[in-house]
A and B are shown apart, each in its own frame.
Chain A
Amino acid sequence: MRAALGAGALVTAAVAAAALLSLIWTPHDVTSLDVAARMATPSGTHWLGTDHLGRDMASMLMAGARTSIAVALVAVGIGTLLGVPLGLWAAAHRGGWLDEVIMRGNDLIFAFPSLVIAILITAVFGPGAVNAIIAIGIFNVPVFARVARGGALPLWTLDYVMAARVAGKGAFLISAQHILPNVASLLIVQATIQFSLGILAEAALSYVGLGAQPPVPSWGRMLADSQTMIYSAPRLAILPGLAIVVTVLGLNLLGDGLRDWLDPRLRRARA
């Protein structure tokens, strides 16, 4: 259990560090084409070789991590900032019409296949990282709303919430002071899972050309670009694919580990 948490945290930290480092330094400029050195195999100058336009693969992967993390992070942020208050609001009015409206609205969003709608949004508003973020973010909202509401409902029946009501606190203050801190562990775990799904979604959208646009590097588009060369230079497809797999795996391990670590019942069982 501890090992999963450690491995997940390590992988996530490494990917995040690579993305941050790419802001100030990459081994080579990712926008410079060097056609003479195209399809170079790994060497001292190009650690992981170059692609079909002569761009350095190591630099592309680092910068691609930046795109993936930025898109997924903002998408999760949108989901949290809209979804959590909606869920807490619904829980405060549990059983009432407001609860119905919010949760049925959530169901409506859930009813659509998320990637298809994301493709629709980018098709209408044009492809690009910002539209990808909005598209992915919208589908995070009902997830967080449900988790927040589900975690809040049992808390509302507890005596300390009753005590807060006797102390004259309204639904807003109780939600902010008592409910939110006590569902935070659930939300943190959900956020890591949504984060990995966001990275997958960004890669998928970029793969079909609807994510970040050239020359901004993206793992998904690196995959798309290299698929015609999969037999002549499998390295070009394997490296970004591996980056996606390892990052998602790391985030899922981190999420699982955090859930066990933050759950006091499991913590007591371990002690």
Chain B
Amino acid sequence: MTAAWSLAARDLSVAIHGTPILRGVSFALPQGRILGLVGESGSGKSMTALACMGLLPRGAAATGTITAGPRDLTALSERGWLDVRGAEIGMIFQEPTTALNPVHTIGAQVAEGLRLRGTPRADANAVARDRLDRVGLSRVPLDRYPHELSGGQRQRVCIAMAIARRPRLLIADEPTTALDVTTQATILDLLRGLVADEGMALLLITHDLGVVAGMADDVAVMKDGAIVEAGPAPDVFRTAAHPYTRDLLAASRPAPRAPRAVPRDEPVLTARDVIRRYGALTAVDGVDLTLHRGESLGLVGESGCGKSTLTRALLGLEPVQGGAITLCGRPGGTAMTRADRARLSVVFQDPYGSFDPRWTVARLVAEPFHLTGRPRDWRDRVAASLDAVGLERDAMDRYPHQFSGGQRQRIAIARALVTEPDVVVLDEAVSALDVRVRARVLALLDDLQDRLGLSYLFISHDLTVVRAICDRVLVMRAGRIVERGGTEAVFARPRHDYTRALIAAAPRIPAEWVP
């Protein structure tokens, strides 16, 4: 192994059909180091990774140079790339579920790269076994299929595939974004260990500054296809010379909500001992919760903990097998009348899937009027609702695809407000947004609560966000509430082991790095 190996991009620019995507990107990544590439969606960080793998989309034209060790990758033919991909550079992607082929065993998929290069089956399988052991799957047989594994295990298989031929560089594009926070921590540990033990270089692409702070030796901040700031991680965080870096840093660390004196005398949404079973599986197992008027209540938990099931039960979309739900003192859940339902609304996670693409914004926002009958002045009410979330009246006759992710989420909030509800359920409502957009939407939610006296049930896996907006918090695990209390009290002095584990696993920027 030559010590001089490094990946270097010099003045790399990419245009797709004439539209510039990358503008003069330069960086150097020597072996044994981790470079964190951070930026918001559309900043060009994934395109940089694809350029390093020779996987640019059709119609893309690249200028500048990329070198991997002594090899110039810029002018490589497709045949030439075959010697680089897998052998010199391995890559893992965000979504392990779609990155693995569901009809092949994990052993065959890890061994595939070796078999293609003529390694005999027995040897390739031996290597696959060794690599799977290395990523911590020593007890998982080679003949398992992806669907038999958990999300974290699948991502480990993807890593094993990427390192099967011992590449010098591993590119990880949002490797933990689709994973739970405790799983994320173990995967990041694994990646860190691989770099240390095998002397690999790691190009870590992420939107999460907390992840970068905990992982990277060097950081490059990307915006609009260019690197605006780069350097050793502690320096970039401490000095944050570029205003954009400062914005990102500020938005990544929303201030914890100051304790407020919310009168807890008027419960608007309650659940008593709610049980929801699917056959033998008890998804929600005796949950109690009370949401008071004007209050924000956080519901935190990892995937599969039952928070989505509980949400559907509270919204009256699914029956419960036990317990009682009330809304403003009247029967809730599936027992709600149409008028009652109008007092409860919801904002979903995905700003792209939340709207029928064939409907105008006016019609979409007015849809909840189905519960109350459409008032004569419905267009004015829709306009008022859009105004409350900071959108102009002329948005009404446009279609959802004409808006950005953040604007769509505002439209979703406008739809939730149009019937003037008492309770708004925010189901991972800011999880899919970029941090700066997220900060603005959180500020909007805060402001709306003050003006309209709304009560929020805020469901999220993201502790930072919960801490920023919730007065009280419930921690859910395996269908049960394991801890409850004032947000600051729970974060400062978690009593349950699981809460402690969640808080410890959440990536954060070290306090001494913050200017």
Contacts and interface: CB of A to CB of B under 8 A. Distances in A.
A159 B354 contact: yes
Contact of B346 (A163, A173, A178, A182): A163
Contact of B357 (A159, A163, A164, A182): A182
A160 B370 contact: no
A177 B358 CA distance: 10
Contact of A162 (B341, B348, B370, B415): B348
B491 interface: no
B354 A160 contact: yes
Nearest to B336: A168
B338 A162 contact: no
A196 B370 CA distance: 42
Interface string A146-182: 0000000000001110111111110001000110011
Contact of A166 (B315, B350, B355): B315
B397 interface: no
A115 B315 CA distance: 51
A182 to B, nearest CB: 6
Contacts of A173: 370
Interface in B460-498: none
A8 to B, nearest CB: 25
B431 to A, nearest CB: 13
A176 to B, nearest CB: 12
A160 B355 contact: yes
Nearest to A157: B353
Interface residues of A, number: 16
Contacts of A177: 356
- Most chain B beta-carbon contacts within 10 A, residue among A159, A169, A181: A159
B317 A165 contact: yes
Interface in B304-348: 315, 317, 338, 341-342, 344-346, 348
Interface residues of B, number: 25
B360 to A, nearest CB: 13
B392 interface: no
A160 B412 CA distance: 10
A166 B358 contact: no
Interface string B397-425: 00000000000000010010000000000
B443 interface: no
Contacts, number: 50
A160 B368 CA distance: 12
Interface in B351-373: 353-358, 364, 367-371
B109 interface: no
B375 to A, nearest CB: 15
Nearest to B415: A163
Given A166-B315, A167-B367, A159 B356 contact: no
B353 A158 contact: yes
Contacts of A164: 367
Given A159-B348, A162-B317, A167 B354 contact: no
B317 A167 contact: no
Contacts of B353: 158-160
A262 B356 CA distance: 16
B349 interface: yes
Nearest to A271: B17
Nearest to A161: B356
A128 to B, nearest CB: 42
A182 B358 contact: yes
Interface string A74-112: 000000000000000000000000000000000000000
A158 B359 CA distance: 15
A270 to B, nearest CB: 11
Contacts of B412: 163
- Most chain A beta-carbon contacts within 10 A, residue among B315, B357, B367: B367
A178 B356 contact: yes
Contact of B356 (A160, A165, A166, A168): A160
A167 B348 contact: no
A168 B371 contact: yes
Given A159-B350, A166-B368, A168-B338, 19 more contacts: A159-B348, A160-B354, A162-B317, A162-B346, A163-B346, A163-B354, A163-B367, A163-B412, A166-B315, A166-B317, A166-B344, A166-B345, A166-B346, A167-B367, A167-B370, A167-B371, A168-B341, A168-B368, A168-B370
26 contacts: A158-B353, A159-B348, A159-B349, A159-B350, A159-B353, A160-B355, A162-B317, A162-B348, A163-B346, A163-B348, A163-B354, A163-B412, A166-B317, A166-B344, A166-B346, A167-B368, A167-B369, A167-B370, A168-B338, A168-B342, A168-B370, A169-B367, A169-B370, A178-B356, A181-B358, A182-B358
Interface of B: 315, 317, 338, 341-342, 344-346, 348-350, 353-358, 364, 367-371, 412, 415
Listed from nearest, the 6 A-B pairs whose CB atoms lie closest are A159-B348, A159-B353, A168-B371, A159-B354, A167-B368, A158-B353
